[in-house]
Structures are given as C-alpha cells and as structure tokens.
Amino acid sequence: MSNQLLNRRQLLIGASAGAVGIGAVALSPITALAAGSSGIVGTWDVMITDMSGPAPVTFEGVTTFAPGGGVVTMNSNSPSTGIGSWASTGEGRFRARFMEFGFSPQGSSKAVVSVKGRQSEDTIRGTFTLNVYDLSGHLLLSGKGTFVGKRFAA
C-alpha cells in the first residue's frame, strides 16, 4: 500500500510541477510579440508547490511561452514534458492548459493541467489544478497547487 501511495504521490508531484511551470502567461499576444516587451513570451524559472497531499511539496520547473500561444513545460520531479497552449485574459492575467504523459509500473497515464495566473513585470504567480487519467480516459486522481516564477534571462 505504501508503494501505491508513493507512486500516486510521485504522479501528482510530477503533474503539478508541470502545471505550475505553465502558470506564467499574461499579456496579449500582440504585446508579447513587441520587440523589447516585458510580455509573457520567453522562458520562466518556476517554483511549484503541490498542495494535493497531506503536506505541501515544492520543486522547480521551467516553462517557455511561445508567440501564438504555444507552451512547453517540464519540472524536476517528472521525466515528462508538458505541451499545451496559453491565452491572455487581460490586465496581466492569463490562463494555460497543457498535457503530459506519465509512465510507471502501474501503467501509462495522461495529466491535464489547467493554470490561472498573473504576470507583473518579470514575475508570474498563480494556481493550477490537474486531473490524471489512465489512457482509457478514467479519472485516477486530482490535485491542485500554486506557483511563482521569474524570467529566465539570456
């Protein structure tokens, strides 16, 4: 049973990390594309806090927001990469959604992470929820957490 809980916890942490990593979007695509703009487009170093278990767990992730709404995210707790999309919701706020796959002795899974966040200059922060499904579409578990990040400059 403890192995099963550990695997469930690792799955949640991995999916949560990616979710938080994505929580870094805010300005409209037009503003984000402007030369020298401080928009969301670019790469962000993100600290993710998984609040799904009995005690919060924090780990690091990285998220890249591309012009046109693409997002790629990964984290230190998961060997998988999340891929999805982001959109501005106005006034420095954004939403994003991505998917990543997990692989374990118990079988393969798909995590879908939804993010709501806010950008303020070179900082992003927000919340996320995640749902993990088996590949037949059956819900295995749900989770939630927060994230805060800073721009990863060249």
Res 38: pLDDT: 60
Res 105: pLDDT: 82
Buried b (16+ CB within 10 A) or exposed e, 11-37: bbbbbbbbbbbbbbbbbebeebeeeee
75 vs 8, residue with greater confidence: 75
Res 79: pLDDT: 81
Measured CA to CA, the distance from residue 24 to residue 137 in angstroms comes to 28
28 vs 146, residue with greater confidence: 146
For the chain, what is the domain count?
A: 1
CATH number, position 99:
2.40.160
What does the pLDDT look like over 80-128, one tens digit per residue?
A: 999 999 999 999 999 999 999 998 887 899 999 999 999 998 999 999 9
Q: What are phi and psi of 23, to 5 degrees?
A: -70, 50
Domain that holds residue 90: 2-151
3-state DSSP percent of the chain in helix, strand and coil, to 5: 15, 55, 25
